[in-house]
Amino acid sequence: MKISVIGCGYLGAVHAASMAELGHDVIGIDVDETKIAALAEGRAPFFEPGLPEILISGVNSGRLRFSTDIADAAGAVVHFVAVGTPQKKGSYAADLTYVDAAIDALLPHLSAGDLVAGKSTVPVGTAARLAEKLAASGTGAILAWNPEFLREGFAVQDTITPDRLVYGLPPEPEAAVRAESLLSECYATALGADTPLVTTDYATAELVKVSANAFLATKISFINAMAEIAEVTGADVTQLADAIGYDVRIGRRFLGAGAGFGGGCLPKDIRAFTARAEELGRGESVAFLKEVDAINLRRRQRVVDLAVDALDGEVNGKRVAVLGLAFKPFSDDIRDSPALDVAVRLKGLGADVIATDPEAIENSRRLHPQLDYVTDTSEALTGADLVVIVTEWNEYRQMEPAYASALVGAKIVIDGRNCLDAAAWRADGWTYKGLGRP
């Protein structure tokens, strides 16, 4: 099937390469010439495990092409819209400029019966508005909303073997049948016999995505709230999480207390959800998400406060090794990263911050050139008065305390992701401080 993907960021680039991997003939479109030049040569413009391999095989097979000219989308039958919906400046609401621009640019190149399939995360009500725009254009193209649930770091796997698919279909029965059959043709190879498929209306499809992210964010902030209580009572939040997680109704996943959530999705999606609910006169229904956000932001400061305490309040000129900058492991993404935020706050307090990360240094340096970056963990650790781990990359989790002992100036570690074996570090003579742990 001939497919176009409009927007080749984290979501679109992975989607385009995955659709080619599933056997389709794909054109990826983006306005960013540098990004398109890299993709066209089969090079991933960001770090995502598994993406380089499928990009190369797609480009070499001729099934995967890239262009900056939206006219090249003409001839495709399904057009996935995967542009960003960032937080608006000075507001909680989502900025839909790129979504509207993509649809407007696509309109002259659509043919009757084409399917425009929205993948971007949008405020509920957006699809209905865009469907009116399509109808008014007289192209005869139809719209579906097909939200994406991929996790960075597992994006290819999540796209090629999704845990569920959601199709938000048009209200007109004939258009709905066509939209469903075209989407199912796109995902035919991905749809295992037991992959759940939810076919629904636009509003439900849009809400599924934002409510899934709101739920995940709430789960993380819940356990971080328990960490705050644990901190004043001497309880251990990691044991608490294990114990409540054994209840299958609760489950252990996403009960990792620490520096909190970041990235390009959870923080801005819960804020956009709050803003949209307020517009709909239902602000009180999701008012708790403001607490979820507030708890989350407090945890970054908690890491900084622990660091200040560990240095007896004398931060100025102290050498602090910050291990981790990406918002989570297996990613070079620093959008709203708690780790980078902690590094910047410590620097702001006068610390001599030496930061490192296996993948995110380049992005971090661009945004915060005032920090000192080193690629080698050992270099970051050398002479450090304090070690702060804020992204739980395997190489940090698996680090031997004795290895770090031989390098640092003082054996004090703050485990901002509760990812180290506290007993082993203490046994090696370290002062260990986790979050929500005695």
Which residues bind to ligand UDX, rule: CB under 6 A?
Answer: 148-152, 213, 216, 220, 254-256, 258, 260-263, 265-266, 327-328
Count of Cβ atoms closer than 10 Å to residue 438 Cβ: 12
**Which is closer to ligand UDX, CB of 134 or CB of 257?**
257
Cα 364 to chain centroid distance, Å, stands at 16
Amino acid at 63: R
Q: Nearest approach, Cβ of 26 to ligand UDX (angstroms)?
A: 21
CA distance 130 to 110: 14
Strand order in the sheet with 319-323: 372-373, 352-356, 319-323, 386-389, 412-415, 431-434
CA distance 250 to 240: 12
CA distance 319 to 385: 5
**Which is closer to ligand UDX, CB of 46 or CB of 149?**
149
**Which is closer to ligand UDX, CB of 162 or CB of 170?**
162
**Which is closer to ligand UDX, CB of 261 or CB of 430?**
261
Determine contact, residues 217/260, Cβ cutoff 8 Å.
no
CA distance 404 to 280: 54
Single out the catalytic residue among 8, 186, 265, 419: 265
Continuous segment of H or E residues that includes residue 229: helix 202-233
Q: Nearest approach, Cβ of 327 to ligand UDX (angstroms)?
A: 4
Q: Nearest approach, Cβ of 389 to ligand UDX (angstroms)?
A: 12
Query: H helices of 7-92, where?
Result: 10-21, 33-40, 51-61
Nearest alpha-carbon partner for 392 in 262, 226, 301: 262
Q: Nearest approach, Cβ of 331 to ligand UDX (angstroms)?
A: 7
Q: Nearest approach, Cβ of 340 to ligand UDX (angstroms)?
A: 11
**Which is closer to ligand UDX, CB of 361 or CB of 435?**
435
Amino acid at 381: L
Residue least distant from ligand UDX (Cβ): 256
265 is catalytic: yes
Q: Nearest approach, Cβ of 236 to ligand UDX (angstroms)?
A: 16
**Which is closer to ligand UDX, CB of 21 or CB of 341?**
341
CA neighbours within 13 Å on the CB side: how many for 6? 30
Active site residues: 265
